[in-house]
Structure 1
Amino acid sequence: MINSGRIKRIYLDELPPGSIGMGLIELIVSKEVQAPELVKTLLDRTKTEVENDREKQGIIELLETVLLSKFSQLSRQEIEAMFLVSDIKQTRVYQEAKQEGRQEGR
Protein backbone atom coordinates (compact mmCIF):
# COMPACT_ATOMS: atom_id res chain seq x y z
CA MET A 1 0.00 0.00 0.00
CA ILE A 2 2.80 2.43 0.84
CA ASN A 3 4.44 1.96 -2.56
CA SER A 4 1.14 2.28 -4.45
CA GLY A 5 1.45 6.05 -4.73
CA ARG A 6 -1.86 6.52 -2.93
CA ILE A 7 -0.19 7.51 0.33
CA LYS A 8 1.75 10.71 0.58
CA ARG A 9 4.14 11.22 3.47
CA ILE A 10 3.93 14.71 4.92
CA TYR A 11 6.31 15.97 7.56
CA LEU A 12 4.84 18.51 9.96
CA ASP A 13 8.00 20.59 9.96
CA GLU A 14 7.67 20.96 6.18
CA LEU A 15 4.16 22.44 6.27
CA PRO A 16 4.24 26.20 5.93
CA PRO A 17 2.88 28.03 8.99
CA GLY A 18 -0.66 29.23 8.36
CA SER A 19 -1.28 26.71 5.57
CA ILE A 20 -4.51 24.74 5.21
CA GLY A 21 -2.52 21.62 6.09
CA MET A 22 -1.39 23.14 9.39
CA GLY A 23 -4.96 24.28 9.98
CA LEU A 24 -6.11 20.67 9.66
CA ILE A 25 -3.52 19.60 12.22
CA GLU A 26 -4.66 22.40 14.53
CA LEU A 27 -8.25 21.19 14.14
CA ILE A 28 -7.28 17.66 15.13
CA VAL A 29 -5.65 18.83 18.36
CA SER A 30 -8.10 21.66 19.10
CA LYS A 31 -10.58 21.81 21.94
CA GLU A 32 -14.27 21.37 21.17
CA VAL A 33 -15.07 25.06 21.65
CA GLN A 34 -12.42 26.08 19.09
CA ALA A 35 -13.39 23.58 16.41
CA PRO A 36 -16.43 25.30 14.84
CA GLU A 37 -14.48 28.49 14.13
CA LEU A 38 -11.48 26.54 12.82
CA VAL A 39 -13.74 24.52 10.51
CA LYS A 40 -15.41 27.65 9.13
CA THR A 41 -12.05 29.30 8.55
CA LEU A 42 -10.60 26.22 6.85
CA LEU A 43 -13.72 25.80 4.74
CA ASP A 44 -13.63 29.42 3.57
CA ARG A 45 -9.91 29.21 2.82
CA THR A 46 -10.37 25.95 0.94
CA LYS A 47 -13.04 27.51 -1.26
CA THR A 48 -10.90 30.51 -2.11
CA GLU A 49 -7.37 29.10 -2.15
CA VAL A 50 -7.78 25.61 -3.64
CA GLU A 51 -8.51 25.59 -7.36
CA ASN A 52 -8.53 21.85 -7.98
CA ASP A 53 -12.10 20.59 -7.40
CA ARG A 54 -10.97 17.09 -6.45
CA GLU A 55 -8.51 18.42 -3.89
CA LYS A 56 -11.13 20.86 -2.57
CA GLN A 57 -13.65 18.03 -2.12
CA GLY A 58 -10.98 15.91 -0.40
CA ILE A 59 -10.26 18.66 2.12
CA ILE A 60 -13.97 19.12 2.85
CA GLU A 61 -14.36 15.37 3.39
CA LEU A 62 -11.30 15.36 5.64
CA LEU A 63 -12.80 18.19 7.70
CA GLU A 64 -15.98 16.19 8.09
CA THR A 65 -14.09 13.02 9.03
CA VAL A 66 -12.12 14.86 11.71
CA LEU A 67 -15.32 16.33 13.13
CA LEU A 68 -17.14 13.00 13.12
CA SER A 69 -14.31 11.22 14.90
CA LYS A 70 -13.37 14.06 17.25
CA PHE A 71 -16.93 14.89 18.25
CA SER A 72 -18.70 11.56 18.04
CA GLN A 73 -21.01 12.64 20.88
CA LEU A 74 -22.47 15.47 18.76
CA SER A 75 -25.64 15.01 16.74
CA ARG A 76 -25.69 15.22 12.96
CA GLN A 77 -27.44 18.60 13.25
CA GLU A 78 -24.69 19.97 15.48
CA ILE A 79 -22.01 18.83 13.06
CA GLU A 80 -23.99 20.26 10.13
CA ALA A 81 -24.11 23.58 12.01
CA MET A 82 -20.30 23.66 11.86
CA PHE A 83 -20.54 23.42 8.06
CA LEU A 84 -22.69 25.35 5.70
CA VAL A 85 -25.59 23.06 4.74
CA SER A 86 -24.61 23.07 1.07
CA ASP A 87 -21.06 22.00 1.95
CA ILE A 88 -22.07 19.03 4.08
CA LYS A 89 -24.51 17.85 1.41
CA GLN A 90 -21.60 17.57 -1.03
CA THR A 91 -19.53 15.24 1.13
CA ARG A 92 -19.28 11.55 0.44
CA VAL A 93 -20.50 10.63 3.94
CA TYR A 94 -23.70 12.64 3.45
CA GLN A 95 -24.31 11.17 0.00
CA GLU A 96 -23.79 7.61 1.27
CA ALA A 97 -26.15 8.18 4.20
CA LYS A 98 -28.75 9.65 1.85
CA GLN A 99 -28.46 6.63 -0.46
CA GLU A 100 -28.78 4.21 2.47
CA GLY A 101 -31.90 6.05 3.59
CA ARG A 102 -33.42 5.71 0.14
CA GLN A 103 -32.65 2.00 0.05
CA GLU A 104 -34.20 1.46 3.48
CA GLY A 105 -37.25 3.43 2.40
CA ARG A 106 -37.82 1.06 -0.51
Structure 2
Amino acid sequence: MKTNSLFYHLFQNFPSIFFELIGHPPTETNGYEFQSVEIKDTNQRLDGVFIPAKRTRQPIYFVEVQAQFDEDFYYRFFTEIFLYLGNNKSNRDWFAVAIYPRRIIEPVIPRPYQWLVESDHIKRFYLDELGLIANQSLGLGMLKLLVEDEPKAQQRAEYLIHQIQQLTPTNEQPKLAELLTTILAYKFPESGIKELTKMFELNDLKQSKLYQEAKTEGKLETVPLLLELGLTVERIAQELQLDLEAVKEAAKELASQATSLE
Protein backbone atom coordinates (compact mmCIF):
# COMPACT_ATOMS: atom_id res chain seq x y z
CA MET A 1 0.00 0.00 0.00
CA LYS A 2 1.32 3.46 -0.76
CA THR A 3 2.37 5.16 2.45
CA ASN A 4 0.50 8.36 1.63
CA SER A 5 -2.72 6.41 1.12
CA LEU A 6 -2.26 4.74 4.47
CA PHE A 7 -1.78 8.05 6.26
CA TYR A 8 -4.76 9.53 4.45
CA HIS A 9 -6.86 6.59 5.66
CA LEU A 10 -5.49 7.05 9.18
CA PHE A 11 -6.06 10.79 9.49
CA GLN A 12 -9.44 10.68 7.80
CA ASN A 13 -10.75 8.04 10.19
CA PHE A 14 -8.81 9.04 13.30
CA PRO A 15 -8.06 12.78 13.02
CA SER A 16 -7.38 12.97 16.76
CA ILE A 17 -4.05 11.19 16.11
CA PHE A 18 -2.85 14.20 14.09
CA PHE A 19 -3.64 16.63 16.88
CA GLU A 20 -1.94 14.37 19.40
CA LEU A 21 1.12 14.34 17.17
CA ILE A 22 1.39 18.14 17.12
CA GLY A 23 0.84 18.35 20.86
CA HIS A 24 -2.77 19.56 20.85
CA PRO A 25 -5.68 17.95 22.71
CA PRO A 26 -7.53 15.32 20.64
CA THR A 27 -10.75 17.26 21.21
CA GLU A 28 -9.45 19.92 18.84
CA THR A 29 -10.59 17.55 16.10
CA ASN A 30 -14.09 18.97 16.56
CA GLY A 31 -14.88 21.45 13.83
CA TYR A 32 -12.38 20.08 11.31
CA GLU A 33 -12.78 18.09 8.11
CA PHE A 34 -9.79 16.24 6.67
CA GLN A 35 -9.50 16.26 2.88
CA SER A 36 -7.06 15.54 0.09
CA VAL A 37 -7.20 18.71 -1.99
CA GLU A 38 -6.43 19.16 -5.68
CA ILE A 39 -4.98 22.53 -6.60
CA LYS A 40 -7.03 24.14 -9.37
CA ASP A 41 -5.42 24.54 -12.80
CA THR A 42 -2.37 22.47 -11.81
CA ASN A 43 -1.48 18.81 -11.59
CA GLN A 44 -0.64 19.16 -7.91
CA ARG A 45 -2.47 17.76 -4.92
CA LEU A 46 -2.05 18.30 -1.20
CA ASP A 47 -1.92 15.01 0.70
CA GLY A 48 -4.12 16.30 3.46
CA VAL A 49 -5.70 19.50 4.70
CA PHE A 50 -7.55 19.92 7.97
CA ILE A 51 -10.20 22.44 6.97
CA PRO A 52 -11.96 24.21 9.85
CA ALA A 53 -15.66 24.92 9.93
CA LYS A 54 -16.58 28.26 8.35
CA ARG A 55 -17.90 29.90 11.50
CA THR A 56 -14.79 29.23 13.57
CA ARG A 57 -11.47 31.03 13.79
CA GLN A 58 -9.40 27.88 13.86
CA PRO A 59 -6.35 27.73 11.59
CA ILE A 60 -5.87 25.53 8.53
CA TYR A 61 -3.45 22.61 8.89
CA PHE A 62 -1.58 21.31 5.86
CA VAL A 63 -0.17 17.78 6.23
CA GLU A 64 2.36 16.09 3.98
CA VAL A 65 3.84 12.63 4.49
CA GLN A 66 7.22 12.22 2.79
CA ALA A 67 8.22 8.57 2.81
CA GLN A 68 11.06 8.84 0.28
CA PHE A 69 13.88 11.27 -0.28
CA ASP A 70 12.92 14.12 -2.62
CA GLU A 71 15.29 17.07 -2.89
CA ASP A 72 12.44 19.23 -4.26
CA PHE A 73 10.01 18.39 -1.46
CA TYR A 74 9.96 21.82 0.22
CA TYR A 75 9.70 23.68 -3.09
CA ARG A 76 6.64 21.60 -3.94
CA PHE A 77 5.08 21.68 -0.47
CA PHE A 78 5.19 25.46 -0.07
CA THR A 79 4.08 26.03 -3.65
CA GLU A 80 0.99 23.87 -3.03
CA ILE A 81 0.23 25.65 0.25
CA PHE A 82 0.37 29.15 -1.18
CA LEU A 83 -1.56 28.16 -4.30
CA TYR A 84 -4.29 26.78 -2.03
CA LEU A 85 -4.37 29.93 0.08
CA GLY A 86 -4.49 32.13 -3.01
CA ASN A 87 -7.14 30.09 -4.82
CA ASN A 88 -9.39 30.04 -1.77
CA LYS A 89 -8.73 33.67 -0.76
CA SER A 90 -8.15 32.41 2.74
CA ASN A 91 -7.88 34.91 5.58
CA ARG A 92 -7.12 32.30 8.22
CA ASP A 93 -3.90 31.56 9.98
CA TRP A 94 -2.23 28.35 8.80
CA PHE A 95 0.28 25.76 9.92
CA ALA A 96 2.09 23.05 7.98
CA VAL A 97 3.20 19.64 9.22
CA ALA A 98 5.76 17.45 7.44
CA ILE A 99 5.97 13.82 8.56
CA TYR A 100 9.00 11.67 7.82
CA PRO A 101 9.57 8.03 8.77
CA ARG A 102 13.18 8.93 9.60
CA ARG A 103 15.22 12.11 9.75
CA ILE A 104 17.64 10.91 7.07
CA ILE A 105 14.86 11.14 4.47
CA GLU A 106 14.44 14.90 4.95
CA PRO A 107 16.12 16.93 2.17
CA VAL A 108 18.19 20.06 2.69
CA ILE A 109 15.93 23.04 3.31
CA PRO A 110 16.25 25.54 0.43
CA ARG A 111 17.51 28.94 1.55
CA PRO A 112 14.36 30.85 0.44
CA TYR A 113 12.28 28.72 2.80
CA GLN A 114 14.60 28.45 5.80
CA TRP A 115 12.86 31.26 7.65
CA LEU A 116 9.52 29.51 7.19
CA VAL A 117 10.79 26.15 8.40
CA GLU A 118 12.38 27.80 11.42
CA SER A 119 9.16 29.65 12.26
CA ASP A 120 6.34 28.28 14.40
CA HIS A 121 4.27 27.80 11.23
CA ILE A 122 6.09 24.63 10.27
CA LYS A 123 6.45 21.48 12.35
CA ARG A 124 8.50 18.45 11.31
CA PHE A 125 8.10 14.99 12.83
CA TYR A 126 10.24 11.88 12.52
CA LEU A 127 8.27 8.78 13.45
CA ASP A 128 11.25 6.75 14.61
CA GLU A 129 12.02 9.50 17.15
CA LEU A 130 8.62 9.60 18.85
CA GLY A 131 10.15 7.81 21.83
CA LEU A 132 8.26 7.16 25.05
CA ILE A 133 5.29 9.27 24.00
CA ALA A 134 4.41 6.50 21.54
CA ASN A 135 3.94 4.14 24.49
CA GLN A 136 1.57 6.53 26.23
CA SER A 137 -0.84 7.05 23.35
CA LEU A 138 -2.65 4.41 21.33
CA GLY A 139 -2.77 6.61 18.23
CA LEU A 140 0.88 7.65 18.33
CA GLY A 141 1.83 4.05 19.05
CA MET A 142 0.21 3.08 15.75
CA LEU A 143 2.23 5.76 13.96
CA LYS A 144 5.42 4.41 15.52
CA LEU A 145 4.44 0.89 14.43
CA LEU A 146 4.79 2.01 10.81
CA VAL A 147 8.57 2.39 11.13
CA GLU A 148 9.43 -0.48 13.48
CA ASP A 149 11.51 -3.41 12.24
CA GLU A 150 9.86 -6.84 12.35
CA PRO A 151 10.81 -7.94 15.91
CA LYS A 152 9.87 -4.58 17.42
CA ALA A 153 6.75 -4.36 15.25
CA GLN A 154 5.45 -7.62 16.68
CA GLN A 155 6.14 -6.48 20.23
CA ARG A 156 4.47 -3.12 19.67
CA ALA A 157 1.49 -4.71 17.89
CA GLU A 158 0.89 -7.01 20.85
CA TYR A 159 1.04 -4.02 23.20
CA LEU A 160 -1.42 -2.08 21.02
CA ILE A 161 -3.77 -5.06 20.95
CA HIS A 162 -3.73 -5.07 24.75
CA GLN A 163 -4.51 -1.33 24.79
CA ILE A 164 -7.43 -1.79 22.41
CA GLN A 165 -8.86 -4.71 24.36
CA GLN A 166 -8.33 -3.37 27.87
CA LEU A 167 -8.24 0.42 27.71
CA THR A 168 -10.77 1.49 25.08
CA PRO A 169 -14.58 1.48 25.17
CA THR A 170 -16.16 -1.58 23.58
CA ASN A 171 -17.93 0.46 20.90
CA GLU A 172 -14.61 1.95 19.72
CA GLN A 173 -12.69 -1.32 19.52
CA PRO A 174 -13.80 -2.51 16.04
CA LYS A 175 -12.67 0.68 14.31
CA LEU A 176 -9.35 0.73 16.17
CA ALA A 177 -8.84 -2.95 15.40
CA GLU A 178 -9.43 -2.26 11.73
CA LEU A 179 -6.81 0.46 11.74
CA LEU A 180 -4.31 -1.79 13.49
CA THR A 181 -4.88 -4.66 11.08
CA THR A 182 -4.53 -2.28 8.14
CA ILE A 183 -1.13 -1.18 9.42
CA LEU A 184 -0.08 -4.79 10.04
CA ALA A 185 -1.04 -5.73 6.50
CA TYR A 186 1.04 -2.79 5.25
CA LYS A 187 4.00 -3.89 7.39
CA PHE A 188 3.75 -7.56 6.39
CA PRO A 189 2.40 -7.63 2.82
CA GLU A 190 3.76 -11.11 2.18
CA SER A 191 1.79 -12.63 5.05
CA GLY A 192 -1.76 -13.81 4.48
CA ILE A 193 -4.62 -12.64 6.62
CA LYS A 194 -4.83 -15.96 8.47
CA GLU A 195 -1.09 -15.91 9.16
CA LEU A 196 -1.28 -12.37 10.56
CA THR A 197 -4.22 -13.36 12.72
CA LYS A 198 -2.20 -16.19 14.21
CA MET A 199 0.99 -14.17 14.51
CA PHE A 200 -0.58 -11.39 16.51
CA GLU A 201 -3.33 -13.37 18.22
CA LEU A 202 -6.06 -11.17 16.81
CA ASN A 203 -8.87 -13.70 17.25
CA ASP A 204 -10.63 -11.51 19.80
CA LEU A 205 -10.84 -8.63 17.33
CA LYS A 206 -13.23 -10.35 14.95
CA GLN A 207 -15.19 -7.20 14.13
CA SER A 208 -12.28 -5.86 12.10
CA LYS A 209 -13.24 -5.61 8.43
CA LEU A 210 -10.01 -7.27 7.32
CA TYR A 211 -10.40 -10.34 9.55
CA GLN A 212 -14.05 -11.07 10.11
CA GLU A 213 -15.68 -13.88 8.16
CA ALA A 214 -18.73 -11.89 7.21
CA LYS A 215 -20.45 -12.79 3.94
CA THR A 216 -22.17 -9.46 3.42
CA GLU A 217 -21.53 -6.92 0.68
CA GLY A 218 -19.76 -4.74 3.23
CA LYS A 219 -16.82 -7.10 2.96
CA LEU A 220 -16.16 -5.77 -0.55
CA GLU A 221 -15.28 -2.39 0.94
CA THR A 222 -11.89 -3.83 1.89
CA VAL A 223 -11.06 -4.90 -1.68
CA PRO A 224 -9.53 -1.54 -2.83
CA LEU A 225 -7.34 -1.48 0.26
CA LEU A 226 -6.10 -5.03 -0.25
CA LEU A 227 -5.42 -4.36 -3.93
CA GLU A 228 -3.20 -1.45 -2.92
CA LEU A 229 -1.41 -3.81 -0.54
CA GLY A 230 -0.46 -5.91 -3.57
CA LEU A 231 -2.76 -8.92 -3.13
CA THR A 232 -4.17 -10.52 -6.25
CA VAL A 233 -7.93 -10.74 -6.79
CA GLU A 234 -7.66 -14.51 -6.43
CA ARG A 235 -5.91 -14.20 -3.07
CA ILE A 236 -8.42 -11.61 -1.84
CA ALA A 237 -11.34 -13.84 -2.80
CA GLN A 238 -9.72 -16.76 -1.02
CA GLU A 239 -8.80 -14.93 2.18
CA LEU A 240 -12.09 -13.01 2.48
CA GLN A 241 -14.17 -15.99 1.39
CA LEU A 242 -15.75 -13.97 -1.38
CA ASP A 243 -16.86 -14.94 -4.85
CA LEU A 244 -14.02 -14.33 -7.31
CA GLU A 245 -16.27 -12.56 -9.80
CA ALA A 246 -17.48 -10.17 -7.09
CA VAL A 247 -13.89 -9.26 -6.25
CA LYS A 248 -13.04 -8.77 -9.93
CA GLU A 249 -16.04 -6.47 -10.31
CA ALA A 250 -14.92 -4.41 -7.29
CA ALA A 251 -11.40 -4.18 -8.76
CA LYS A 252 -12.83 -3.12 -12.13
CA GLU A 253 -14.89 -0.39 -10.48
CA LEU A 254 -11.81 0.86 -8.63
CA ALA A 255 -9.82 1.04 -11.88
CA SER A 256 -12.65 2.94 -13.53
CA GLN A 257 -12.74 5.49 -10.74
CA ALA A 258 -8.96 5.98 -10.96
CA THR A 259 -9.19 6.58 -14.72
CA SER A 260 -11.93 9.19 -14.29
CA LEU A 261 -9.68 11.16 -11.92
CA GLU A 262 -6.78 11.36 -14.38
Task: Say yes or no: TM over 0.5.
Answer: yes
**Structure 1, residues 30-76: CA drift from partner, whole Å, max 9, x if none?**
111211111111011111111141x2111111110001112101233
Aligned-pair distance for 1:87?
Answer: 2.9
Pick from 140, 146, 169 the counterpart of residue 22 of structure 1.
140
Counterparts of 1:27-106 in structure 2, within 5 Å, are 27-53=145-171, 55-95=172-212, 96=219, 97-98=240-241, 100=242, 103=243
Structure 2: stretches of 5+ with no match in the other structure: 1-11, 26-132, 213-218, 220-239, 245-262
CA distance in 1, matches of 2:162, 2:156: 10
Assess if the C-alpha contact under 8 Å between 1:60 and 1:91 holds in 2. yes
Q: TM-score, normalised by structure 1?
A: 0.72
Q: Report whether the alignment pairs 1:13 with 2:22.
A: yes
Q: Cα 1:26–1:57, aligned 2, differ >3 Å: closer, same or farther? A: same
CA distance in 2, matches of 1:29, 1:73: 17
- Which structure has the highest helix share of the two? 1
Q: TM-score, normalised by structure 2?
A: 0.32
**Matched residue SS, 1:29:** coil
- Which structure has the highest strand share of the two? 2
Letter in 2 for 1:80: T
Structure 1: stretches of 5+ with no match in the other structure: none
Runs of 4+ in 1 over 4 A off after TM superposition: none
Aligned-pair distance for 1:83?
Answer: 2.8
**Structure 1, residues 68-104: CA drift from partner, whole Å, max 9, x if none?**
1121012334311233252353311223314x1xx46
Q: RCO greater where, 1 or 2, for CA within 8 Å and sep 6 or more?
A: 1
**Bigger Cα Rg:** 2
Number of equivalences? 96
Aligned-pair distance for 1:7?
Answer: 6.9
CA RMSD, 1 decimal: 2.7
Q: Matched residues, percent identical?
A: 27
CA distance in 2, matches of 1:7, 1:38: 19
Q: Cα 1:32–1:51, aligned 2, differ >3 Å: closer, same or farther? A: same
